[in-house]
Amino acid sequence: MSGKVEISLAVNGETIEALVAPRTTLADFLRQDIQLTGTHTGCEMGVCGACLVLLDDRPVHACLMFAVQADGCAVETVEGLTLRRAIDDLQKAFHERNALQCGFCTPGMLVSAYGILASGGEPDRDGIRDALSGNYCRCTGYESIVDAIETTVRQRRQHVEEEKA
Amino acid sequence: MNAFAGSIDRPNSYIGRSVSRPNAKRLLEGRGRYVTDLVLPRMLHAAFVRSPYAHGKIVSIDIEEAKALSGVRAVFTGEDLASICAPWTGTLDHFTNMKSPPQVPLPLEKVMWSGQPVVLIVADSRAIAEDAAELVIVDIEELPALADPVEAMSAAAMSQELADNICFATKLDSGGVEEAFDAADTTVEQSFIFGRHTAVTLEPRAIVADYDPSENRLTAHHATQTPYQFQDVYSRHYGIPEANVRVIAPDIGGSFGMKLHVYHEEMAVVGASILLGRPIKYVADRMESFVSDIHARDHRVTGRLALDRDGRITAMDVDDVTAIGAFSSYPRTSAVEGNQVIRLMGAPYDFSSYRANLSVVFQNKVQTSQYRAVGHPIACAVTESLVDAAARELSLDPFEIRERNLIPDSSYPRTSPTGYQFEKLSHQVCLARLKSIMNYDALRAEQAGLRQKGILRGIGIALFVEITNPSPAFYGVGGARISAQDGAILKLTPSGEVHCSISVTEQGQGTETIIGQIVADQLGIDREKVRVMTGDTDTTPHGGATWACRGAGIGGETALQAARKLKANLLAVAGLILQARPGELDIRADWIVEAVTGQQRISLAEVARIAFFRSDTLPPETQAQLSVAHHYAPQGYPFAFTNGAQGCLVEVDAETGFVKILKHWVVEDCGRIINPLLVDEQVRGGVVQGLGAAFFEECLYNEEGQLTNGSLADYLVPMACEMPDIEISHVETPTRDTELGAKGCGEAGTAAASAAAMNAVNDALVGHGAVLTQIPMTPTRILKALGTI
Ligand code: FES
Ligand code: FES
C-alpha cells in the first residue's frame, strides 16, 4: 500500500485537513474517517445511489470517487443539507408521505431530489421517476417518493409565485 | 371480541389513523444508526476468502503469507471455529424424514457452493483484511457441480452424511382427483419455471460481535429482524449462558426475511470475537451479498385443473420440485417455502379434490430460504395462470370464471383441502371491489380499440390468500426455538409519559409507530408521550420479533393488552387519590376523567408525581404498580389468513419484447388497519418486489454452478421509472381471535403481483400463440414465446 496523501476540502462548510490512503473512496472517507455516516453505501459501484453527495453543489457518487479527488472541493452530505436547512421542505414532504421505510436509500434520494429541484425545471411525475433512475429503493414502491418530490416541486413553485405577486 | 372498537373521533383514538412515523425524522436527517455505521474501541474488521468452485474437496489451505501481513491480527480456518462451535442442522421435526447435512462456520473438508466462505481474516481495517485474503492459497480439487434440480434428484448424494439429495418430500391427497379428471369437461395443464431471486436489502448484512472474556459475555450488534432467535443461537452454539448474550438490532436497512437466517459469516465472526476477545465487524459487500445471502424461489411446477362444463373447478393436481442449495437453512429450514406452495395452491377456490407432490432438493448453490411472501407467489401464479388458461379454453371472462369458483364469503369458517383453517375471508367482496376500482369494462373496451391499432395491452388479475400471525404451529412444534409469543414492558415516567419496550422489531415498516399508536390509544394519552423501544434483548422482553406478518397482529395485541393492564393500575391509584371507584374513571387526553361526564379530575402527570415521590400520602399498604410486563401468544386459529385481489395493466411491445407496466391495483383485507398510511406503503413496496420477480430479478447460473450476474449492475432491481402507480383499496375483516383484530399485510403485495403480471402479459399476447409460464418474463423470453427468436 502506498503512503498517505494530504488533502484539504470543505465538508458541510467546515474545512477538513486529512491524510488519506489514495485508495480510500470519498464514501469511506466521509463515513469512516470523519464519521458522517448519513451517507450510505449499497453497491459501491455507482448503481444504487445510496452514497450520493454534493460535490461543488452537484450530486456525485461518493463510492466512485477517491477522497484525494475531492481535494480542494466542497462536499456536502445529508447532514450538511439538513444543517443549513436546504431540504427542510423535502424532508417534511417525505415524512408526511411516509416516503421512506428502512431509510437506507433516503439520504441518496434526498440528494437526488435536491438536484432535481436545484435544476430549476418542474418535472412531472414521469420526469421525477426518470430523474430517480439512479436511486434504488427496496422498501417503498417509489410512488410515495415521487409524491413527496412532486409536492415539494409544487410548493416551491407556489412560493415563487407568491413572492412575485 | 373486538370490544374496544371505539369511534375514531374520540380523543387519543389513534387506531385506524394515518399517523406519520416519529422515527423517520432521524433517518431523514442522516442520523440513522445502522450496524454498518458502528465503531467500537479496539474493533477489528473481517473479510473472507471464498470458494471459487461450486463443489470441491479442500486439499490444503496456506495462510502463512496472509498472517504475516502487517495489520493482520488473525486468520481462521474451519477447524479453529469448529472446535468452539456446535454444528447446526436445518431440519424441523414436524416435517417427517426431513434431512440436511450439519453445518459449521467454515468448511472442514468440502466446499458446497461457489462463494462459500472458507477462510476468515481479521485485520485492523477491512482493506487490509481484503489484501490479506488475496494472499491465502486455497487448493481445492474441483468436483462436478449439481446445478440442475431435476438432475440432482436422481444423482448420487453430494453430502457424505446423506444417502441422496432429497431434503424433504411429501404428498397431499384429499381424494377424488383421478375421478374428477376422468369426469372433467375441460382440463388445463401448464408447466412453470420460477427463477431464483434474492432480497437485495439496500443495506447488506452486517454484524459487530463483541465478546468480553472477563464476564463471558457476548454483545452482538446485528442487522437482523430476530434478535431473540440469535441470542439463543449464539448462546447454544458457543456455550455462553443465554442471559450473557445480548443482541442489539438498531436501525436495519431492509430485511424482508433475508436477515433472519443463520449465516456462516456471522457465526464465524462471533467465534473469532470469542477467540480474540475483541470486537469484530463484518459488513458484506454487494458481491458477497449475492453469493451468500439466501436466495428465494427456484421452483419447477406442473399443475392441472379439472373443470365441469359450467367452468367450475372440480380438482387440482400439482407437482413442485424446489431446489434449495447445499444445506437447508437454520433454524427455519428451507422446506417451509415448498410446504407453503403446495398448501396455498387453489386456496381462494371452492373445490375439494386436491393432490400435490413436493420434492425439496439439494444442489451446489447457496441456500434458498424464507424471503417475503414465502411460497405465496408460486402458489398464486400457478393457480391464477391455470384459472386464466381455463377461462380462455371456456371463453369466459377472467372475472366471470373466478366469480363462479370463489369460496363464498358467507361460508366461513372452513378448512381448505390442504388442511388450512380459514376463519373468515372476503374473496367475493375483494374481487368485486377490484373490478370497480380498475374500471374493468372501460379497460377492456380501450384494449380492444388499441388492439385494432396494433397496440397490445393486457389485463391480468389474481386472487391471493396470505398467511399471517403464525402460532407455535409454525416452528415451535417442529422443535425450533422460535417464539410465537411477544412481550411488552410499559413504564410510566414520573412526568406521566410512557416508555414501551417490546419484542417486535422495526425494519422500516413502522412497527414502533403502530405500537405507539396502540398504547396511546388504549391509555388515552397523546402519542407524543409514548416512546417505543425495540431491538435489544437486554432491554426488551423475549418474543418472536417481526417476521411472517406478525408485528401488528401479535405484537400489536401484546401492546394492547399491556396498555390495558397499565391503565387498570393507573386508574386504581387515581381512585385512591381521588377517593373514587376506578370503574368510574377513565383516562382521556392525559387526564384522569369521570368516565361518564368526561369531567377532568387530575392529570396523569400528577398521579405519577404522587405515586413516585409522595407515596407517603397514599393509603397504607398501597404499592402502586406503574410498570407492567405482559406477554401474549396467539391462540385460536393456528394462523390468521388474509386475502385480497390484484390487477395489472401492461403493454407488450411484440417487436422488442419489452413490457411497460402501466398500472397496478390492489384490494387487500388485513383485518383491522392500525395505520392506513403505513399499510399502503407496505403493500406498494411488496408489489414492487413482486413485479421485480415478474420482470427483472433472477440469479443466473451457468452449468458449473457459477452465479453470473452477482452485482447490482447485472442483477436488475426495479427502478422508479419502470414502476407504475399502484392504487390500493381495503376491505376490513378483523380476526376475532384478538381484541385488536389486526392481521398482517407485509407480504400481500408480493403474494400476487407476479401472478397478476403474468396473466396480464398472457392476456396481451392472446391470439399470438404465446403463453409465458416462466418468470421473470424477460424480453428474450417473451420473444422466444412469440417465436421471434
Ligand atoms: S454505493 Fe455508490 S451508488 Fe451504490
Ligand atoms: S427505504 Fe429502505 S431502501 Fe428505500
Determine contact, residues B492/B465, Cβ cutoff 8 Å.
no
A51 lines ligand 1 (CB under 6 A): yes
Residue A159 CA to its chain's centroid (Å):
23
User: Which candidate, A90, A144, A108, places its Cα nearest to that of B202?
Assistant: A108
Helix (H, G, I), strand (E, B) or coil at B59: strand
Which of B685, B712, B721 is nearest residue A101 as measured by Cβ atoms? B685
**What residues 616-675 of chain B have any CB closer than 8 A to a CB of chain A?**
none
A103 lines ligand 2 (CB under 6 A): yes
Residue A76 CA to its chain's centroid (Å):
8
Chain B CB within 8 Å of residue A33 CB: no
User: Is A52 a residue whose pLDDT tops 70?
Assistant: yes
Give the confidence band of A121 by pLDDT, cuts at 50, 70, 90. Answer: confident
Chain A CB within 8 Å of residue B763 CB: no
A137 lines ligand 2 (CB under 6 A): yes
A30 lines ligand 1 (CB under 6 A): no
Q: Does A136 contact B719 at a Cβ distance shorter than 8 Å?
A: yes
> What's the whole-model pTM score?
0.96
Determine contact, residues B168/B372, Cβ cutoff 8 Å.
no
Query: What pLDDT is stored for residue B6 in this prediction?
Result: 46
Determine contact, residues B54/B114, Cβ cutoff 8 Å.
yes
Q: Which-ligand-closest: CA of A42?
A: 1
> Averaged over A99-115, what is the pLDDT?
97
- CA A30 to centroid of ligand 2, rounded, Å: 21
Chain B CB within 8 Å of residue A77 CB: yes
Q: Render the burial of A52-70: b for 16+ CB within 10 Å, e for the rest.
A: bbbbeeebbbbbebbbbbb
- CA B726 to centroid of ligand 2, rounded, Å: 17
- CA A49 to centroid of ligand 1, rounded, Å: 5
**Phi, psi for B82 (deg, rounded to 5):** -60, -25
Q: What region, left, alpha or beta, does residue B496 occupy, with left being phi > 0 and alpha being psi -120 to 50 degrees?
A: left
Query: What pLDDT is stored for residue B769 in this prediction?
Result: 87
Query: Helices B376-394 and B748-764, interaxial angle, to 10°?
Result: 30
Give the integer Cα–Cα distance in Å for A62 and A51.
5
Q: Is the dihedral of CA B674, B677, B679, B680 positive or negative?
A: positive
Chain A CB within 8 Å of residue B141 CB: no
Query: What pLDDT is stored for residue B10 in this prediction?
Result: 72
Atom of ligand 1 nearest to the CA of A62: 2
Location of C-alpha cell 402501466: B662
B271 lines ligand 2 (CB under 6 A): no
The complex's ipTM works out to: 0.97
Q: Which-ligand-closest: CA of A101?
A: 2
Query: What pLDDT is stored for residue A165 in this prediction?
Result: 80
Q: Which of A1, A43, A146 would you mutate first to test chain B, the one with the most B CBs within 10 A?
A: A43
A107 lines ligand 1 (CB under 6 A): no
Q: Does A133 contact B719 at a Cβ distance shorter than 8 Å?
A: yes
Chain B CB within 8 Å of residue A84 CB: no
Pairing state between β B530-533 and B659-669: unpaired
Which of A48, A129, A135 is nearest residue B712 as measured by Cβ atoms? A48
User: Which candidate, B663, B633, B668, places its Cα nearest to that of B747?
Assistant: B668
Pairing state between β B421-422 and B456-468: unpaired
Determine contact, residues B195/B698, Cβ cutoff 8 Å.
yes
Q: How far is A98 from chain B (nearest CA, A)?
A: 7
Determine contact, residues B571/B592, Cβ cutoff 8 Å.
yes
**Phi, psi for B274 (deg, rounded to 5):** -65, -45
Q: How far is B723 from chain A (nearest CA, A)?
A: 8
> Averaged over A34-43, what is the pLDDT?
97
Query: What pLDDT is stored for residue B560 in this prediction?
Result: 97
Which of B28, B712, B725 is nearest residue A43 as measured by Cβ atoms? B712
**Which grid coordinates are listed for B479?**
422443535
Chain A CB within 8 Å of residue B256 CB: yes
Location of C-alpha cell 364469503: B409
- CA nearest to B725 within chain A: A143
Query: What pLDDT is stored for residue B5 in this prediction?
Result: 43
Length of chain A as a residue count? 165
Q: Which-ligand-closest: CA of A50?
A: 1
Give the integer Cα–Cα distance in Å for B512 and B536.
13
Which of A42, A106, A143 is nearest residue B684 as measured by Cβ atoms? A143
**Phi, psi for A18 (deg, rounded to 5):** -150, 155
Partners of A3 on chain B (C-beta within 8 Å) are: none
Q: How many CB atoms are closer than 10 A to CB B82?
A: 16
Q: How many CB atoms are closer than 10 A to CB A150?
A: 18
Atom of ligand 1 nearest to the CA of A47: 3
- CA nearest to B749 within chain A: A141
Determine contact, residues B264/B116, Cβ cutoff 8 Å.
yes
Q: Does A138 contact B508 at a Cβ distance shorter than 8 Å?
A: no
Residue B550 CA to its chain's centroid (Å):
10
Pairing state between β B280-283 and B627-632: unpaired
Query: What pLDDT is stored for residue B744 in this prediction?
Result: 92
Residues in chain B with pLDDT values less than 50: 1-6
Q: How far is A161 from chain B (nearest CA, A)?
A: 28
> Averaged over A37-55, what is the pLDDT?
97
Chain A CB within 8 Å of residue B726 CB: yes
Q: Which-ligand-closest: CA of B717?
A: 2
